[in-house]
Amino acid sequence: MTSIPAPSSGFATIDFETTGFYAEGTDRAIEISVVHSEPDGTITGQWETLINPGRDLGRQDIHGISAREILRAPQFTGITADLVDLLSQRVVVAHNASFDMRFLEAELGRAAYWAGVPFVSICTMRLARTHLGGSSTLADCCAAFDIDLSGAHRAAVDARATAELLGAFVASTGQSSWRDLLGQAERLAPYAGERGEWLARTNVEDYSPSFLERILDRVPDVSDSDEQAEYVALVERCLLDRYLSEHEKDALVAFAERTGLPRATVERLHRDYLAALVKIAWADGVITEDERADLISVAQLLEVPAEIVLDAVAQPVEIVEPPAATSAFVLNPGDIVVLTGEMTRARSEWEHCLREHGIVAKPAVTKAARLVVAADPDSLSGKARKARDYGIPIVGESWLAERYV
């Protein structure tokens, strides 16, 4: 394992792969990755290891970890000392931090470790609600900034992407905005147990997401609060294998009770979420029998009457095409423009040019954007995909050059 640096101020982004999501019950961590970033968001190091949970591995079709690999992996107590050093004096970052922090604290508790001071943590999913206007899944947030997320559901991939997402937020808000938070992170008490060898995955198979997972990544936010968003994120974890175990049901109920979500709100979230799934499924103009079966299965899991789905899939949802960017299209002072791709002129030059006309250049695609300018208007980048989802026009660099040079 790469040597661990001395404690210093900065961020430590973590991601767990787990047997399930009931941290306080029988589920366990089976993989962790930690990414260090400087206060300005620059990534400086990454560590990862499998963890032997001493039980079955849960949904192996999702995380792709085999029992053969786990047999050689350390138990959590064997990585605790190094993990504590990696987190010491740093703000702990995670996407849906409620999930990862609960597993971190549960596993540390089983290892009989007490940090001496509280962890200082921040959630990029919650940040996205502020900075991206409702995007919630890691895939959706990464698409808004064109951050690569190839090989999701591996702790190292998800942690790295989350750290890059954090860096994008830091860059867009300014380092001074984070100074107070960074100053709250203190040194953690050392762990007295023995240090084991970390064991990273070696055989990583290509992951092919299912139809359901592909549309889950594109579902718009249907929540009205951070707590609702975290509940929906837990629901999404259940949906991937189209099965809701009794342990998962208990965990969802426990989360709703802990956060004070009333039954009516939960039922509304289920209905709205299913409606959003159906709309995304219709995006290509057709719903196959397999897709229809998946949607009905989701309805049953969410206890939404199947008739609602049957009615929804019987009639195509009207897909509104993005408006064409013609000569009549005009940018006004205060409008937001997003640039993507390698252009002939430096991006900084275009940003300066836009500022001179009172136009705001932003790094991420949100619903507030008026226009996306791409090196290739047919781009398949995450930013271009988000623009099409939101109905935002996409133009080439020449469109800008004709009007603002």
| pLDDT value at 91 more than 60 | yes
Is 178's pLDDT higher than 80? yes
Q: Integer distance in angstroms from the first to the last C-alpha of the chain?
A: 52
What's the Cα-to-Cα distance from 8 to each of 25, 94, 163, 175, 354, rounded to whole Å? 34, 19, 17, 16, 39
User: For the segment 294-306, what is each residue's pLDDT rounded down to a tens digit?
Assistant: 888 888 888 888 7
Rounded Cα gap, residues 89 and 112, in angstroms: 20
In terms of residues, how long is the chain? 405
Q: How far apart, in whole angstroms, are the C-alpha atoms of residue 377 and residue 270?
A: 36
pLDDT on residue 204: 63
Task: Return the minimum-mean-pLDDT range out of 45-49, 284-288, 341-345, 394-398.
Answer: 284-288
120: which residues sit within 8 A by CB, 6+ positions away?
91, 92, 181, 184, 185, 186
pLDDT at 368 over 80: yes
135-147 mean pLDDT: 86
Residues 6+ apart with CB under 8 A from 398: none
Q: For tokens 């994008």, what's the residue? A: 168
Each residue of 318-359: pLDDT tens digit? 555 555 554 567 888 899 999 988 888 888 888 888 998 899
- Rounded distance between C-alpha atoms, residue 132 and residue 368, angstroms: 9
Residues 161 and 143: their CA atoms lie apart, in Å, by: 11
> How many whole angstroms separate alpha carbon 165 and alpha carbon 338?
16
**pLDDT (0 to 100) of residue 69:** 86
- 3-state class (DSSP) for residue 226: helix
Q: Using N-to-C axis directions, what is the helix angle for 155-173 and 138-145, rounded to 10°?
A: 50
Residue the block writes with tokens 């290892």: 111
pLDDT at position 101 over 80: yes
Q: What percent of the chain has pLDDT over 90?
A: 35
286 φ, ψ (degrees, to nearest 5): -150, 145
CA distances from 202 to 12, 70, 154 (A): 23, 11, 12
**Confidence at residue 176, expressed as pLDDT on a 0 to 100 scale:** 86
- Report the CATH superfamily, name and number, of domain 336-404: BRCT domain (3.40.50.10190)
Long-range contacts of 288-292 (CB under 8 A, 24+ apart): 290/211, 291/211
What mean pLDDT comes out for the span 47-70? 86
Closest CA to 98 of 187, 206, 231, 5: 231
- 169 vs 131, which has greater pLDDT? 169
The 371-374 sheet, strands edge to edge? 360-362, 336-340, 371-374, 394-396
Task: Give me the CATH code for the 10-184 domain, please.
Answer: 3.30.420.10
Q: Which of 129, 122, 124 is nearest to 169 (CA)?
A: 124
pTM (predicted TM-score): 0.82
Q: What is the mean pLDDT of the chain?
A: 86
Q: Cα(190)–Cα(193) distance, rounded to whole angstroms?
A: 9
What does the domain layout of the chain look like in residue ranges? 10-184, 222-314, 336-404
